[in-house]
Structure 1
Amino acid sequence: MNESTQTEAAEGTPQSYGFCSWHNRFADGVRLIEVIEQGSGAGGTQYACGPCRETYRLVPFADRP
Structure 2
Amino acid sequence: MAETNHTPPTEEDTTTTVPRAFGYCAWHQGHADGVRLIDVIEQGSGSGGTVFACGPCIAVNNLVPFADR
TM-score range, shorter chain: 0.7 to 0.9
Where do residues 1-65 of structure 1 align in structure 2 (5 Å cutoff)? 8-9=17-18, 15-64=20-69
Q: Percent same amino acid among aligned pairs?
A: 64
Q: Which has the larger radius of gyration?
A: 2
- CA deviations on 1:1-54 (whole Å, 9 max, x unpaired) are xxx8xx633xxxx53000001111000000000000011113100000000000
| RMSD across aligned positions (CA) | 1.7
**Structure whose residues are more often strand by fraction:** 1
When normalised by structure 1's length, the TM-score is 0.75
**Structure whose residues are more often helix by fraction:** 2
Q: What are the ranges of 5 or more consecutive residues in structure 2 without an aligned counterpart?
A: 1-12
Question: Aligned residues, how many?
Answer: 55
Q: Which runs of 4+ in 1 moved over 4 A?
A: none
